[in-house]
Structure 1
């Protein structure tokens, strides 16, 4: 199985690709330049290329020696709607858009693996589908790809994903057992009362008071209604009420919006049920109306045991391997793939961030190019392990 040193000759090229992609970030379902970049390179390597799945998705198909098995490797391509603050020479040239989660690095690593695998087809038997996915950030690109027949058109025995993780030692491969990432849902509640003069609150029904009671009450879902060894997160992210130019008016309506996270479906369902019950109970207590809404977005990302074990074996050449990394309460639409095909997801350590604030989804984030050879080598090792 190839060590990272085997991919070192490609590191200057992978770095150039990554920084070019970083310079030209594109949002979900708008990755037209990125998709062309990927498709052209894959064709140049002699791969079969399919474009236009989920609008901008690309699949490159690589065949090794004759074999009956097939696997898929996935890299996400989209950027975030953020303004970059790194000041780097290759910083985003697109106002209000940046690669703040390392998807530029994911794309470059899978392209690097494609180069090595295309030149070493005799080292594996079967088929590898390289899936370059659009719109991972909140827009559900994986679901769209799956619904458009990704796995019907490209049947596979297993699917694998990898994500960079700042703070984890450079080159370390961490493969969680079971849950990897949480569900990611959105909830909304509108409290409707009767507005009144701020000096005469007894003449109305105060929706702001109900909203305050609701925000306090829902914290008990995690702290008092979920097993302490389990995981539940309920957070308020947006509140809208009244007019700042009229502080002497008690508004008739308050709107709240937030996020909910869980690592298993039972807890997820309990959160949904209790949010709705609490909203209605608070409304009754305060003599007004509540209109709760719960929007299920991403299911928990949970590794299949057999494929997680394959990842651990494939990581034997890595700097270090962890098979007990704890789950993280961020969300990932790779769960849509895992709901349809057995597979697993791992973390690639990229070391300490160069900037103190350089974590995911921060304007100072930048992918560590030193990790490119490590990630590409791991993909190649995984192919050889699965398709020996």
Structure 2
């Protein structure tokens, strides 16, 4: 009973402390970090500059202890202890950048990448900056939380081996983490607005490869061969249409996107004898085995094989599992959602919307209650272009909101989750 009373007292005082959550210390730390991280993008698991900067800033703030993940040396796992009894919760940000398809970041951007061909055009730099700002704020105001906060700065969200390596290592379990939270910037969503989906939030993403093989022919006499160019086109259309017509897509949404087609032909005047079709397969459920009736994997492989046979070709179908579906914990959302807008100074939309995008934050949700928020970044002429594009920007006011949201989540979660 006494612990519940303390929790209520802390919650009732957090709104009065809201100005502290937006104090210049945490905001300034975050803005400085954003400029540095955006200017120095790094890829995948190997982020020496990013790691060094974050560790240096945390050590300068003082009061943090550190753990590590041997398979992921660029990860930063920092722990802040309030000195008072309470649960341990984690706040996570990703750190890696992306390679641009062509050219460099536009010269009009400020800050701008100083590494040719690389850019933070998915917002991971601002995610890390917000988390560093929150760490600074909570370090200076430990009265705003109980228990412990684990700050997870994660490499390799864009490639395999980020969240999955951290989960496999067991570091969060060793530290006794009760729940984990994160946020992602949302282009087009206004600054000051935050969204969260209850339950299924994002689909799992898997890659597939379909190899069609048949007899080649002279381009003038396609009837003498399998005419794999045309056959592949028909198979691609069938793949794209399959979820809508051959699957219960209203209750079990799925999406097949063909993203790469290649042949082994070396001549423009001959049909190929092999075509490789690749892409992504997204769904909110496990794909299942290709040999098991009733699974999406089985449906696709069966249709592909049958269609290939009709056109006199053979087909080889394979799926490589990727990121699982992201599922937000309902009980955790219910515990903090009512108080979060007032404490964080934001507008919160709680919905059941879900998206075909994917995120490796999903791995945390397989072992812990996890909640993933969307942070609005659009204001004036900034923050309107989608992620993974060279024109991607954020409005700097979003940084302050991100710091406040993370600090508010730490305050409410450590008070309410026992």
Q: TM-score, normalised by structure 2?
A: 0.87
Q: Which of 67, 74, 98 is the aligned partner of 1:50? A: 67
Q: What CA distance in whole angstroms lies between the structure 2 residues aligned with 1:254 and 1:59? A: 45
Tell me if structure 2 keeps the 8 A contact 1:65–1:126: yes
Q: Is the contact between residue 140 and residue 333 of structure 1 (CA under 8 Å) also seen in structure 2?
A: no
Number of equivalences: 387
1:122 Cα deviation from its structure 2 partner: 2.5
Following the alignment from structure 2 to structure 1, what is the Cα–Cα distance between the partners of residues 114 and 147? 41
Instruction: Report whether the alignment pairs 1:211 with 2:232.
Output: yes
Q: Equivalent residue for 1:161?
A: 182
Q: Summarize deviations over 1:129-153 as a string: whole Å, max 9, x none.
A: 0000000013240001111222233
TM alignment of 1:77-92, pairs within 5 A: 77-82=95-100, 83-85=104-106, 87-92=108-113
* Secondary structure of the corresponding residue to residue 93 of structure 1: coil
Task: Describe the SS at the equivalent of 2:197.
Answer: coil
**Structure 2 CA distance, aligned partners of 1:189 and 1:334?**
28
Equivalent residue in structure 2 for 1:66, among 84, 101, 107: 84
For the residue of structure 2 that corresponds to 1:167, the secondary structure is strand
Shift of 1:281: 1.0
Report the 3-state secondary structure (helix = DSSP H, G, I; strand = E; otherwise coil) of the residue aligned with 1:125: coil
Residues 113-262 of structure 1 correspond to what in structure 2 (within 5 A)?
113-224=134-245, 225-228=247-250, 230-243=252-265, 246-262=267-283
Q: Quick check: 1:366 aligned with 2:381? A: no
Q: CA deviation at 1:96?
A: 1.3
Residue of structure 1 in register with 2:321 after alignment:
296
1:161 shift after superposition: 1.3
CA distance in 2 between partners of 1:133 and 1:173 (Å): 22
Greater mean deviation of Cα atoms: 312-321 or 299-308: 312-321
Structure 1: stretches of 5+ with no match in the other structure: none
Report the CA distance between 1:266 and its aligned residue. Answer: 6.6
How big is the shift at 1:154? 2.0
- The alignment yields a C-alpha RMSD, in angstroms, of 2.1
Q: Structure 1 residues 4 and 123 mapped into 2: Cα distance closer, same or farther (>3 Å)?
A: closer
Deviation at 1:68, TM superposition (A): 4.3
Residue 374 of structure 1, CA deviation: 0.8
CA distance in structure 2 between the partners assigned to 1:140 and 1:309 by the alignment: 31
**TM superposition shift of 1:255:** 0.7
Partner of 2:18: 3
Q: CA deviation at 1:351?
A: 1.9
Which residue of 2 is the match for residue 281 of structure 1?
A: 306
Q: Deviations over 1:184-208 (max 9, x none)?
A: 1111111011111111223222222
Mapping for residues 29-44 of structure 1, pairs under 5 Å: 29-44=45-60
Structure 2: distance between partners of 1:267 and 1:163: 29
Task: Kindly indicate whether the alpha-carbon contact (under 8 Å) linking 2:121 and 2:393 is maintained by their aligned counterparts in 1.
Answer: yes
Relative distance call for 1:185 and 1:311 in structure 2 (3 A) is farther
Aligned equivalents of 1:129, 1:119: Cα separation in 2:
16
Cα distance in structure 1, aligned partners of 2:80 and 2:186:
28
Q: Work out whether residues 180 and 302 of structure 1, in 8 Å CA contact, stay in contact via their aligned partners in 2.
A: yes
The Cα shift of 1:337 comes to 0.5
Of residues 87, 108, 115 in structure 1, which corresponds to 2:129? Answer: 108
Deviations 1:289-309 (CA, angstroms, capped at 9, x unpaired)? 111111110111011111122
- Specify the alignment match of 1:312 in structure 2: 337
Q: How far apart are residue 373 of structure 1 and its match?
A: 1.2
Distance (whole Å) between structure 1 residues aligned to residue 23 and residue 193 of structure 2: 17
8 Å CA contact 1:28, 1:79 repeated in 2? yes
Aligned to 1:326: 353
- How big is the shift at 1:210? 2.5
| 8 Å contact from structure 1 (residues 185, 260) kept in 2 | yes
Q: Alpha carbons of 1:370 and 1:306: their partners in 2 closer, same or farther (altered >3 Å)?
A: same
2: CA distance between counterparts of 1:351 and 1:265?
34
1:273 deviates by: 2.0
The answer (yes or no) to whether the contact 2:189–2:376 under 8 Å persists in 1 is: yes
